Structure 1
């Protein structure tokens, strides 16, 4: 087969055939921590999401633990592992906010780890438990305004193993939405690949108070 024909055939193959979406084939993780009060304000309250009810008092919740390539990421991989049970999904509600999010994260990201659902959820919990939430963001009772650089600096001060290139602050409509932390496959802090280092470039961000 000529080199040109091989390249044409490769371009026609789906990502999975090229090794981009094969379970267990990835380089590192992103732990995505969502600022739930802002998610509730922008999205969840309109859906009457139970986790957005007054008095729930949630701050950062786990959006997901996402396997990453050094460029790009896999998603919706095929796996021989069984999907989690309703009980397993529900058990993640304390850190993820809802069983529905846990189920979705397994389908989109967990299957790509090559882990069982039990091991993936255990890894997600271990990664989240290892992160110290800065005191200034632990339980704000009123709206705060902080520049992205100060939010990042607060995480670095509270977690000495993190590096500036290993933390990404995300925003929407000049409000804090998410903090992403890059981890090795062993859940140790590491720098993010260049395509995952994008930080919010807005000025001071509004940080919605706990509900």
Structure 2
């Protein structure tokens, strides 16, 4: 075989090894081991954005339970995280979620399907029982205050993500810009994500911040009946 071809193939093999090594380092060595994670992300979804998007997709019937009510921010989930990456579906099949536990969370997470999915995908990675995981979710939500002016937003609001973060920081002592991020879909606000230690203290999370919305402004549709 010609020497230049051999050298080319060796270089390609070396490049592939480097890529695979980088992928392995980005994947936490504890991947999907229940209870083995670094911190939580509390994801708060702006319900009016979700409902507008559902109506545009023709899925308003499936979201009726949530979108017929005047919700502002609702809990999307409490997600165990690594410093780089995150675990998911840590028990297959996941332990069956008791329906009584599901119904107890409907005031914070107003869709049964969402609650079941969050348990399967994220709750099983917490290392907690289902009841303890959702109790922790409730504690996480209680740890984060929502700006009063957003709870009954009666008109569409256009806001810079940085200003939205600042509104949360202002009323949550100990919360800093390194522990909160805003995500968007199209032009609308999707979520506010807050990083919390296992003992429910605000903490920095660089990787979450890097996934934040890069728009100068986002639209917040009004709360239904707000």
TM beyond 0.5:
yes
TM-superposed CA distance for 1:126, in Å, is 0.8
After TM superposition, the structure 1 = structure 2 runs for residues 143-158 of structure 1, keeping only pairs within 5 Å, are 143-158=156-171
Partner of 1:111: 124
TM-superposed CA distance for 1:17, in Å, is 10
Residues 138, 152 of structure 1: alpha-carbon distance in 2 compared, 3 angstrom cutoff? same
Does residue 32 of structure 1 match 2:43?
A: yes
TM-score, length-scaled by structure 1: 0.87
Unaligned runs of 5+ in 1: 1-6
Does residue 67 of structure 1 match 2:47?
A: no
TM-score, length-scaled by structure 2: 0.81
TM-superposed CA distance for 1:83, in Å, is 2.6
After TM superposition, the structure 1 = structure 2 runs for residues 91-170 of structure 1, keeping only pairs within 5 Å, are 91-170=104-183
RMSD: 2.4
Unaligned runs of 5+ in 2: 1-16
Q: In the alignment, which of 100, 114, 118 is matched to residue 87 of structure 1?
A: 100
1:135-157 deviation digits (Å, cap 9, x = unpaired): 22121011011111110000000
Partner of 1:189: 202
Structure 1 runs, 4 residues or longer, greater than 4 Å off = 15-18
Q: Is the 8 A contact 1:33 1:61 kept in 2?
A: yes
Q: Match of 2:107, SS? A: helix
CA distance in 2, matches of 1:16, 1:147: 33
Partner of 1:20: 31
1:129-184 deviation digits (Å, cap 9, x = unpaired): 12110122121011011111110000000111101100001111111110000000
Q: How many residues end up aligned between the 2 structures?
A: 199
Q: Is the 8 A contact 2:66 2:111 kept in 1?
A: no
CA distance in 2, matches of 1:63, 1:195: 19
Q: Is the 8 A contact 2:187 2:218 kept in 1?
A: yes
Please identify the structure whose Cα radius of gyration is greater.
2
